[in-house]
Chains A and B, each alone.
Chain A
Amino acid sequence: MNPTLHGILVFLETWWVELTSGIVIVAVVPLVAGYVVLVERKLMADMQARLGPMRVGPHGLLQPIADAVKLLIKEDIIPAESDKLIFWLAPVISMVAALTSMGAIAFGPAFQVARDINIGILFVLGVSSLGFLGIILGGWASNSHYSIIGALRSTAQLVSYETAGGLAIISALLLSGTLKISGIVQAQYEQHVWFVFLAPVAAFIYLVASIAETNRAPFDLPEAESELVAGYMTEYSGFRWALYFLGEYANMIVVGSIATTLFLGGWLRPFPNWKGSGLIPEGIVDAGWDLVPAAFLGLIGVYCLYRAGKQPAKAQTWFMWAVALACFVVAALYAIPALLFAMGIGGVAGSLSVAVLPGLNGAFWFLLKVSGYIYVFMWLRFTLPRYRFDQLMHLGWYILIPLAIVNIFAVGVAMLVVANANWNHGLALTLATILGTVVTLLFAALLVRWHDRRTESASAASMAPDSYAG
């Protein structure tokens, strides 16, 4: 055989998983990000007593496609005196950083582009922080004083909260002992508990930091429309803006994935270690959990069927039936390997199901947790007002960072106590967690009290009577 062809075939055979995952990420994630935008609009509408997009496609489901088409065919406006190379490059950097960092994220036990790189979490963090360059360069290239200031502010905010988030992650990494993503999830499996229960303060700090890092409310001052400084995205229209926007939503998925991996058990199902403890035969528990994704999707399908009868228009009824059918099909895809495995059927089907089942289940639980995390993001966006920039920076530097540092100490001490105690492992763990959390929260209360006193005295000082007013 032709040696070049042979070489290519060998290459494909070794790397086909990584290549397909990579292609899937680059092709699918922007589409998913578009639908996350639709979910946000519908959720926002629901929380605001209205309906959201309903016209384009049934219940607005084709809205992202319509938006994408519109953005693609828009006129490409470049500001007159801007730097063309940088103007072109900035949104690209943002999007590429977000997509590349997804490469190391594991959706299931064997399900990632970069096959279990040794520095997994660090890779995701580091590459996603490359997105900041996209923001600064975008603000610069817009050639507008206010865009530059908006970009600088945004970057300052991102850098500060990344520090806080990184310190919070260190607490969780102390518990896991490794940077490898599969190692972290394995550590949560071995310790029988999700790290959110062992380091709740760190999880909360990371929640706040990740909201600030993705420029979401209540930390979205740099990109809010009602603010004076227009923000780095102003001069971008059409597809360039879409790249920024999709990069932001892809970033949301990335931070959701980091939080899920570190704090929520990654792809583990709830109670991954409980095998029945003698009451129920072991296989039944596993089989039961394996059928949960199928049951979940089946329930959604049943609900769609129920709603189908209540739609006002024929087309909408058919659409609901189609959605229900899709749910049942996916549920079947989940149920069949689970049943084959549970019933111990061998042969080709059996071995296929054994191979496929952990990945399927893992992906389901992982995506469910990431969706929950993003739901919290959206919920907070619609509920809370916006922080002013100096308040935002105060919160990051004066409260979150010291809190995260103290939390690292608390977790470390707790771990030492647990390691050296001869008590029941679970009891020691619980007590150590409670103690660590209480100490950190006390420190947090002190910090907040000090911060409030400082702000009050500062604003009282600035309100001195001005006899030359007017």
Chain B
Amino acid sequence: MLDSILFYFFAGVAVTSAALMVTRRNAIHSAVFLITTLLATAGIFLQLGAEFLFIAQIILYVGGIMVLFIFVIMLVRLDVALQHIRFRMKNLVVTIVIAVLGAEAGAIIYYARKLPGQGLFIQNMAPAEKLAPNSERLAESLFSGYLLPFEIASVLLLVAMVGAVVMAKNKKRTPEES
């Protein structure tokens, strides 16, 4: 019972925030609603027993990427940029997309009614003790089985960081030279 309440709470927050996010005029408001969406999704991860994913979502997505988004929104004059974007067909595209997604959602709910043991309320959650501890398993596989992809990803990130610093520095030098 508690699980159902929590799930519907998180899901409701996620969906409403997402809807609000795409309909706001103010970019910062959109960013804030994106943050709430991400937090709600993290809550659902936690409910599913994926606690490492939950905290990774919070640290990386909300604490890192959203902070970056907000920096960019603050530092770039969006009203000037907005004046030059003209996309005329947006109402049509939105209607089509909503129709398609709505049909999908309706189909899922309709067919899910027929599945055994399912319904609007969660009957049984997987017992938490039966799941292997997340962080340990993740660490084991990262450093043994998936070591090479891990290292490649690290090098990629390093290259991106160095590149960003180089590009930022060049931008600063040019006005001084001239």
Please give the residue numbers on chain A whose beta carbons come within 8 Å of chain B beta carbons, in ascending order.
7, 11, 83, 85-86, 89, 117-119, 122-123, 125-127, 129-130, 132-133, 136-137, 140, 148, 152, 155, 159, 178-179
For the complex, what is the distance from the CA of A79 to the CA of B66, rounded to whole Å?
A: 25
**A159 contacts which chain B residues (CB < 8 A)?**
67
- Asked if A86 meets B29 with Cβ closer than 8 Å, knowing A11-B2, A148-B74, A152-B71, the reply is yes
Contact mask for chain B residues 62-88; partner A; CB cutoff 8 A; 1 contact, 0 none: 110011001100110000000000000
B135:A119 contact, CB within 8 angstroms: yes
For the complex, what is the distance from the CA of A89 to the CA of B70, rounded to whole Å?
A: 15
A85:B70 contact, CB within 8 angstroms: no
**B95 contacts which chain A residues (CB < 8 A)?**
none
A119:B134 contact, CB within 8 angstroms: yes
- Give the contact-size bracket for chain B: 20 to 34
Identify which of residues 120-149 in chain B touch chain A, using a CB-to-CB cut-off of 8 Å: 133-136
B58 within 8 A of A: yes
Secondary structure call for the B interface: helix
Secondary structure call for the A interface: helix
A119:B71 contact, CB within 8 angstroms: no
For the complex, what is the distance from the CA of A118 to the CA of B75, rounded to whole Å?
A: 39
B74:A136 contact, CB within 8 angstroms: yes
**A127 contacts which chain B residues (CB < 8 A)?**
58
B26 within 8 A of A: yes
**A7 contacts which chain B residues (CB < 8 A)?**
1
Please give the residue numbers on chain B whose beta carbons come within 8 Å of chain A beta carbons, in ascending order.
1-2, 26, 28-29, 32, 35, 51-52, 54-55, 58-59, 62-63, 66-67, 70-71, 74-75, 133-136
- Asked if A126 meets B51 with Cβ closer than 8 Å, knowing A132-B63, A133-B35, the reply is no
Nearest CB of chain A from residue B36's CB, rounded to whole Å: 10
Nearest CB of chain A from residue B166's CB, rounded to whole Å: 15
For the complex, what is the distance from the CA of A148 to the CA of B29, rounded to whole Å?
A: 16
For the complex, what is the distance from the CA of A127 to the CA of B75, rounded to whole Å?
A: 25
Nearest CB of chain B from residue A266's CB, rounded to whole Å: 19
**A148 contacts which chain B residues (CB < 8 A)?**
74
- Asked if A155 meets B134 with Cβ closer than 8 Å, knowing A7-B1, A119-B55, A129-B59, the reply is no
Nearest CB of chain A from residue B124's CB, rounded to whole Å: 16
**A152 contacts which chain B residues (CB < 8 A)?**
71, 74-75
**A179 contacts which chain B residues (CB < 8 A)?**
135
Closest residue of B by beta carbon distance from A121? B55
28 A–B contact pairs at CB < 8 A? A7-B1, A11-B1, A83-B28, A85-B29, A85-B32, A86-B28, A118-B133, A119-B51, A119-B52, A119-B55, A122-B59, A122-B135, A123-B55, A126-B55, A126-B63, A127-B58, A130-B58, A130-B63, A133-B62, A136-B70, A136-B71, A137-B70, A140-B28, A140-B70, A140-B74, A148-B74, A152-B74, A155-B67
B134:A118 contact, CB within 8 angstroms: yes
B134:A133 contact, CB within 8 angstroms: no
For the complex, what is the distance from the CA of A155 to the CA of B64, rounded to whole Å?
A: 11
Nearest CB of chain B from residue A2's CB, rounded to whole Å: 14
